[in-house]
Amino acid sequence: MGGEAYRQAGVDLAASEAALELIRDRVRSTYTASVLAGIGSFGGLFRADQLRAMRRPVLVATTDGVGTKTVVAVRAGRLQSLGRDIVHHGVNDLLVQGASPLFCLDYLAMAELVPARVAALVEGVADACRELGVALLGGETAELPGVYQAGEIDLVATLVGAVEEDRIVDGRRLESGDLLIALASDGLHTNGYSLARRVFAGEDWNASQARLGGQNLFGALLAAHRCYLGSVRALMEAGLDLRGMAHITGGGLIDNLPRVLPPGIGAEIALNSWTPPALFQWLLEAGQLQLEEAFRVLNMGIGYLIALPAAQAAAALDVLASCGETAWVCGELRLGQGVRLR
């Protein structure tokens, strides 16, 4: 049997082949008629039929990872949810500019390749892609002893989407008086886990927590990264003027919202417009965080922001409620710069 020298060096070719067999059918289940070549090819081939139907198509691409949420998932033995997290994260990033997702490429790395772990992770990616109509076109599974710590994993994905050039949402039309609508997050999403692991290091993560409504820490920390694609599409189909959007990830409200604000426009966030969920309050208190730091490290219960004319806010909230979103007006745009918490 070949590969013995490589196996002794820490790379198991047989495990790699076994992992591929476990994930092949799940990955292929995401294929649409646009996929000409996928898993096993040197490069994925995607027919641009959807682009031909557009007047002036613009491709939008984003790459990100789930960070140290992987450490919590490994400890809990709940890896499949990470695949959903990274797809939802990438789709939300595309959505900010008005783009619809087309295909995904994933990257999975670990010190020692365990086929069952690879299968769980890729199945999560494939399931999320299939549900959203995204082709999982290809990816890479790497066994890197000496680079990664034993037992730990890294999961990254690239999402590519498209938008009509005249429908790009880039914030340039934002103006003073526009309102900010917050869409609730389902937890930390994919940021703040290094802080959470430090703050909760001495806690029993399996124990029911009264302050979390009976949920344990594993459940609270591994809540899925929410996908806002359906809800934002509903707003667009309703003809609402979405002038700017922000996905609240690393950097929180303070650093993410300014990325879409034009020069001379700042934002005021009304802290009395919502109560951050108990997990965030616990982190704030136990971690002894200053309020501004908390709003830079954590999403504080807001996963996505939409800016639109004040006259359209009520209609937008009605649409979002019909989509099952918890949404509210959380602030307003003003002349100035940056984000002010008040």
Q: Which residues contact 314 (CB under 8 A, 6 or more apart)?
A: none
CATH 3.40.50.1000 is held by the domain 4-167: no
Domains 4-167 and 179-341 share a fold: no
Token digits of residue 325: 């979103």
Write down the domain spans for the chain. Answer: 4-167, 179-341
Q: Which residues contact 95 (CB under 8 A, 6 or more apart)?
A: 228, 229, 232, 245, 247
**CA pair distance 61, 93, nearest whole angstrom:** 9
CATH, domain range 179-341: 3.90.650.10
pLDDT of residue 14: 60
Asked if 79 contacts 124 with a C-beta cutoff of 8 angstroms, the reply is: yes
What DSSP state is assigned to residue 158? E
pLDDT of residue 9: 45
**Minimal CA–CA distance to 109: which of 139, 135, 137, 72?**
139
pLDDT tens by residue, the chain, 342 residues: 445 644 544 445 565 566 566 666 777 778 887 887 766 677 878 888 888 888 999 999 999 999 999 999 999 999 989 999 999 999 999 999 999 999 999 999 999 888 888 889 999 999 999 999 999 998 888 889 889 899 899 999 999 999 999 999 999 999 999 999 999 999 999 999 999 999 999 999 999 999 999 999 999 999 999 999 999 999 999 999 999 999 999 999 999 999 999 999 999 999 999 999 999 999 999 999 999 999 999 999 999 999 999 999 999 999 999 999 999 999 999 999 999 999
Starting at the edge strand found earlier in the chain, the sheet holding 135-143 runs 57-65, 153-164, 100-110, 135-143
pLDDT of residue 34: 80
Residue 107 β-bridge partners: 140, 156
